[in-house]
Amino acid sequence: MKKNTANKASYKEQRKLEAQKQQRTTRRLIWITVIFIVAIIAAVIIFQPKAAPVEIAYDTMPSLGAANAPVKIVELGDYKCPSCQYFSQQLEPQIKKDYIDKGLASFHFMNFTIIGPDSNTAALAGQSVFHQNNDAYWKFYDALYKNQGDEKVQWATPQFLVDLAKKENLPIDYDKLMLDITSKKYQNEVDAHNAFARKNQVNSTPTLFINGKKFDNSMDYNSIKAAIDKAVKGE
């Protein structure tokens, strides 16, 4: 009887040891699998091809700075967008001071009309002013954002936009501006801007493209500066 009890105890101990061994083997296999998967993910991240810069017709848009500047920055914006107002008043002047005025970058504007119907009206006005006088456009750009109304209210009417141009004493033909807005003369250009935004997965304004590469953190100047600095170095 004692012998049978001893055999049973030995058998249980053996099964316990085998189970522990199997657990250790299973844990090793799990860790090996995890390490293998992590290595594959890391390799994909490291060696995946970088997205090529998108082609942008810079000479068809309002521009600040030297045409041959090594860095080209495009803002996709909506004149009714409060964040775009902040960008135009707080961040764009810093970009101008640090890069545009030094010949390191040029700055361009493209419409992305996402707020309301009069976003499109304001865009038509901007395009009209640009086609009449590129320098006057930038005064209009500043004035539009400084006089921006509530985004939930349709304030960017043709009359408001023409009156604003007159108030700023822009050197343009005001009758032509009114006609261009009401006839939607440059609607094809605004539509092309919106199509560009959709094609390149732009989901908010303002969004920047720096040398053709989309940059989403457009509300933080330190991040913008770091991205422009990389572009200046050709990275």
Q: What's the pLDDT tens digit per position in 81-134?
A: 999 999 999 999 999 999 999 999 999 999 999 999 999 999 999 999 999 999
pLDDT value, residue 21: 72
Q: Dig out the tokens for 153 from the structure.
A: 């209210």
pLDDT value, residue 44: 41
Mean pLDDT of all residues in 146-158: 97
Rg (CA), the chain: 30
* pTM given for the model: 0.78
Q: Dig out the tokens for 19 from the structure.
A: 């189970």
Kindly give, in sequence order, each residue whose CB lies less than 8 Å from that of residue 73, ignoring residues fewer than 6 positions away.
95, 99, 105, 106, 107, 108, 208, 209, 210, 228
- The alpha carbon of residue 111 and the mean position of all alpha carbons in its chain are separated, in whole angstroms, by 13
Q: What's the pLDDT tens digit per position in 58-78?
A: 999 999 999 999 999 999 999
- The alpha carbon of residue 186 and the mean position of all alpha carbons in its chain are separated, in whole angstroms, by 24
C-alpha triplet 153, 170, 122: angle, nearest 5° = 25
Cα-Cα end-to-end distance for the chain: 82
